[in-house]
């Protein structure tokens, strides 16, 4: 259990199981989970690769950060259920957390790509209402651009496999 309100971030390949982990963390810590994909899908119903989705993502992300900081201010931890897949995204989150005076923990789903591909196939077949449709090509694309966290980023990292 957290001793002070903490921002929990997630990173890993697309379809690795970040939302499943985020839900587990929210229950066990406890913490409030904020899912950017769920908000975007409920509000706009757009695929993640559409230009309209990309245009609306920034304002939604800013609103989620505001909500997260309000939650932290009243003493609860938050799980930001979206992918901090790049060093730049992680640094931005760390900067925001530092400015607000809250610790950060990064939860890294470090899984072999074949496991992630199987999870993506199962998710695609199940067609969950609040998840983006990701196929093998999407996983392979993401595998090429994903930046694994490194020790010099200044983050406390919990590795999940």
Mean pLDDT estimate for the chain: 92
Confidence of residue 88 (pLDDT cuts 50, 70, 90): very high
Q: How would residue 130 be classed by pLDDT, with cut points 50, 70 and 90?
A: low
- Residue 75: HSE in the Cβ half-sphere, 13 Å Cα cutoff: 1
pLDDT in tens, 63-82: 999 999 999 999 999 999 99
- The per-residue pLDDT for 100 is 96
Is residue 129 in a domain? yes
DSSP character for 97? H
Angle between helices 136-145 and 113-126 (to 10 degrees): 140
Q: Is residue 2 part of a domain?
A: no
Structural domain contains residue 112: yes
Instruction: Look at residues 128, 116, 121 and name the one whose alpha carbon lies nearest to residue 160.
Output: 116
Task: Provide the domain limits for residue 134.
Answer: 7-160
**Total number of domains in the chain:** 1
pLDDT of residue 128: 66
Q: If you average pLDDT over residues 42-53, what whole number do you get?
A: 88
Q: Which of 53-62, 70-79, 128-137 has the lowest mean pLDDT?
A: 128-137
Q: Quick one: pLDDT at residue 15?
A: 86
Residues 10-37 have a mean pLDDT of: 95
Widest distance between CA atoms in the chain? 42
In the structure, what pLDDT confidence band is assigned to residue 1 with cuts at 50, 70 and 90?
A: very low
pTM: 0.90
Residue 26's domain is classified under what CATH number?
A: 3.40.50.300
């Amino acid at each position: 259990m957290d001793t002070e309100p903490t921002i929990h971030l997630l990173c890993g390949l697309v379809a690795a199981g970040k939302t499943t982990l985020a839900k587990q963390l929210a229950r066990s810590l406890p913490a409030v989970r904020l899912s950017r994909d769920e908000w975007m899908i409920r509000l706009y119903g757009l695929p993640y690769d559409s230009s309209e989705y990309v245009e609306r993502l920034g304002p939604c992300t800013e609103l989620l950060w505001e909500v997260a900081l309000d939650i932290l201010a009243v003493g609860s931890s938050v799980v930001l259920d979206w992918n901090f897949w790049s060093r730049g995204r992680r640094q931005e989150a760390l900067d925001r957390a530092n400015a607000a005076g809250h610790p950060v923990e990064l939860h890294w789903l470090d899984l072999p790509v074949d496991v992630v591909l199987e999870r993506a196939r199962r998710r695609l077949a199940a067609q969950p209402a609040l998840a983006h449709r990701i196929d093998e090509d999407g996983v392979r694309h993401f595998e090429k651009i994903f930046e694994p966290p490194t020790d010099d980023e200044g983050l406390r990292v919990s590795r999940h496999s």
